[in-house]
Amino acid sequence: MAFSADELRVLRRALSTALHPTPLPDEDVQDCLRLAGAVDEVVGEAGRLRTFLLADLVRYRNALPGSVSGYLELLQDALAGGYDPRPDDLAALRALRHRPVAAALLERCQVLAERSVRARLAGRSAPSAAPAPRSRLLALPGGRAADAEPERPKTPAAPPRPAPPSERPAPKPSEVFPPRRPVPPPQQWAAG
């Protein structure tokens, strides 16, 4: 995540206020709220992208063995992003272990899967790659909420239910953005 110069200025002021609480002007409060909204938007977009990539990984896994190179590449990207390999991934990699890349990925995935199982057996939850939802920024010292009544703690909302599967599956990136094919140069006709 990258911040612009203005966003860094707002972040620096917010951190300074957090360390040394002082009343803030309304303009600074609005800047902080806009920055918080932008961060929430980026986190949400990252979650949507992750969901899309994991769904794409499943599609490629289901299309094996014809999609070997695409599947291995997507799996490497997913593992780099904190993905815990599923039993289906391990089974697919075992079937492909005659390929050097698949054999190396199989070893890596087995270590990650074993770590995940040990963590669950030890009573800890396995580390989640998805970021925890951030609570809303409701008040800053001296902001508008300082004059209002203190809010009662809210009970946590139920997690959103997944949308029902649509009749038509989401298109693959290769369907939306087909690869460019090189155009052969026009042939020169020789006279004679």
Looking at 64-68, 95-99, 145-149, 166-170, which range is the least confident one? 145-149
Q: pLDDT, tens digit, for every residue of 68-107?
A: 888 888 888 888 888 888 888 899 999 888 989 989 999 9
Q: Which residues contact 126 (CB under 8 A, 6 or more apart)?
A: 84, 116, 119, 120
Residues 170, 69, 65, 175: is their CA dihedral positive or negative? positive
- Token pair of 28 as six digits: 């600074």
Q: 107 and 24 in contact (C-beta within 8 Å)?
A: no
Q: pLDDT, tens digit, for every residue of 6-64?
A: 788 888 888 888 888 888 788 888 888 888 888 888 888 888 888 888 888 888 888 88
Q: End-to-end CA distance of the chain, in Å?
A: 64
Mean pLDDT across 145-168: 58
Q: 101 and 70 in contact (C-beta within 8 Å)?
A: no
- Give, as one character, the DSSP assignment of residue 165: P
